[in-house]
Structure 1
């Protein structure tokens, strides 16, 4: 693709984020032994390649970088998948080689542009690249994103991804996007004090799939009383309720949302809630951080509500992992 085919003001230096939905087996192939394959892909393409964590049957692979770096990363992934297909065929009697298939995750607000008026754009993509392209009719669970499936030879897939990137650059998403986050394999969700948790090992981890719903729940809730503070104050007494402590464990990749640039967001939550909020330092080998909230039941309730609201507010940023870093 010539540079003038991409938006003129940025040329091929336009930074884009593309999200892929992969099965565990596909992710294992991309990571490779001791992470060697993904390391090589990062180095040779120049793109950032992030793989979502969690014990999920599906994982999100996020590729960020200038468009030419994204195309190189996609080429390497497509050829790796073709290599896997060839290797699996050596053990089977099948004679025709199945196509390589990739699933992109695209904000629903951009899917209309990909399909085009009366399906004209998607038809043009199929004819000009030789790839099969399908846009799912329904949004992925708990999100405003749809799956876009591309099948064909690696060469056809690369050409198709180039055309999809052009459309995505020309038609940015409208409004906030709630990104799809795959659910852990049959992990129960526990609700406590307006927050959803999944149990991972000995920790209760805030459950990202539920964060937007939680905000709606929190909007409807009166401040809750944490466990251990169930006795109402005696009427006529001005004494403040005794201070109590509540602990949350939050994944490292979400902690940046709470802290904000140079701590602005966490300070705002402290001031608005009146609670003391301490965030433990990152521990080597641990993928989560402990947050300790101290104050009256009302302070704690408000702090938790504000943390939930903060997650809701950054939902639109989840497409761009660079916005999740802690300053």
Structure 2
């Protein structure tokens, strides 16, 4: 009777592997105390769930199995993240519940099919599931994979993952894929109060309460040296890091939320990050604008984080951040 089951699933009941990129804290939540949560997820979904080695700010969670088991595993992860959000909100004044966000790692050769001609496929996914879907413009470091970020309610995310699986099955990766492997946290950009900030993918993601520390660090162009002490207070910051430049492209329709009324938001981001930020003029026939960020790694990290936060709040309709 196996063949009829495959038919009823629309030919979808094949084995597939989906890779997720998670921060350490998220992985901890999925593993649970003494590994109980992940054990339960494996048992109840029937999918194989593997988690990459620790000691990295980011970890890869690999989910393998027939598509129906993958969807069950995804549902359990999405609901667990929602539970974490609700728990974290119980002691915060925020009223609107932020969306659940998952990041998939997809071979770049399949991203074109996910986006579709002129963005038609990704638009269809957003409209039919209600989830926000974004495909990163750049490949993840030292790989041929890109991050695909999905955010929304757990239900929307599950529907969206189903559609992504269909696309991935219909358009297998072309050529060899160099998988993304998160780097161990051996070279933090900055060390402050024992907290390491590392560039993760395109963004430096500090915890929200670490933003103020990062801000203070970004403001200090020279390492802070207490009187009578010649060694810098921050390990690894023997000298002020040289200025470097980072470029981002932002869709035209979202540039307004970064600039703000009469440039208020962009000036705020410049002041908070200490970075120089230049926004190129709109190019004829282009739907994107180039943003150039110049400063120390700390300045750039913070500017990127703030720009990303503005975009996220705009896209998810969370209002002003």
- The SS at the match of 1:13 is coil
- The SS at the match of 1:323 is coil
Shift of 1:175: 0.3
**Any unmatched runs of 5+ in structure 2?**
none
Stretch deviating more after TM superposition (4-13 or 41-50)? 4-13
Do the aligned residues in 2 keep the contact of 1:129 with 1:157 (CA within 8 Å)?
yes
Do the aligned residues in 2 keep the contact of 1:194 with 1:217 (CA within 8 Å)?
no
Shift of 1:19: 0.1
Q: What residue number does 1:108 align with?
A: 108
Distance 1:67 1:187, change over 3 A: same
Do the aligned residues in 2 keep the contact of 1:218 with 1:305 (CA within 8 Å)?
no
Do the aligned residues in 2 keep the contact of 1:276 with 1:293 (CA within 8 Å)?
yes
TM-score scaled to structure 2, two decimals? 0.57
Q: Could you report, residue by residue, the CA deviation over 1:85-144 in whole angstroms, capped at 9, with x for unpaired residues?
A: 000000001100000000000000000000000000000000000000000000000000
Cα separation, 2, equivalents of 1:119 and 1:132: 13
- State how many pairs are aligned: 320
In our comparison, the structure showing a higher alpha carbon Rg is: 1
Q: Could you report, residue by residue, the CA deviation over 1:54-73 in whole angstroms, capped at 9, with x for unpaired residues?
A: 30000000000000000000
Shift of 1:25: 0.1
Q: Could you report, residue by residue, the CA deviation over 1:140-183 in whole angstroms, capped at 9, with x for unpaired residues?
A: 00000000000000000000000000000000000000000000
- The SS at the match of 1:12 is coil
Do the aligned residues in 2 keep the contact of 1:144 with 1:179 (CA within 8 Å)?
yes
Distance 1:243 1:195, change over 3 A: same
Q: What residue number does 1:243 align with?
A: 243
- The SS at the match of 1:206 is coil
Shift of 1:41: 0.1
Stretch deviating more after TM superposition (287-296 or 27-36)? 287-296
Do the aligned residues in 2 keep the contact of 1:107 with 1:146 (CA within 8 Å)?
yes
TM-score scaled to structure 1, two decimals? 0.56
Distance 1:71 1:225, change over 3 A: same
Do the aligned residues in 1 keep the contact of 2:18 with 2:104 (CA within 8 Å)?
yes
Shift of 1:201: 26
Q: Could you report, residue by residue, the CA deviation over 1:212-269 in whole angstroms, capped at 9, with x for unpaired residues?
A: 9999999999999999999999999999999999999999999999999999999999
Distance 1:252 1:4, change over 3 A: farther
Shift of 1:184: 0.4
Q: Could you report, residue by residue, the CA deviation over 1:17-61 in whole angstroms, capped at 9, with x for unpaired residues?
A: 000000000000000000000000000000000000130000000
Cα separation, 2, equivalents of 1:302 and 1:112: 30
Shift of 1:281: 62
Shift of 1:13: 2.7
- The SS at the match of 2:8 is coil
**Any unmatched runs of 5+ in structure 1?**
312-318
- The SS at the match of 1:20 is strand
Distance 1:205 1:237, change over 3 A: closer
Distance 1:234 1:173, change over 3 A: closer
Shift of 1:186: 1.9
Do the aligned residues in 1 keep the contact of 2:133 with 2:149 (CA within 8 Å)?
yes
Do the aligned residues in 2 keep the contact of 1:16 with 1:67 (CA within 8 Å)?
yes
Q: What residue number does 1:321 align with?
A: 315
Do the aligned residues in 1 keep the contact of 2:257 with 2:314 (CA within 8 Å)?
no
* Aligned-residue CA RMSD (Å): 18.8
- Tell me: higher relative CO, structure 1 or 2? Use CA pairs within 8 A at least 6 residues apart: 1
Do the aligned residues in 2 keep the contact of 1:31 with 1:37 (CA within 8 Å)?
yes
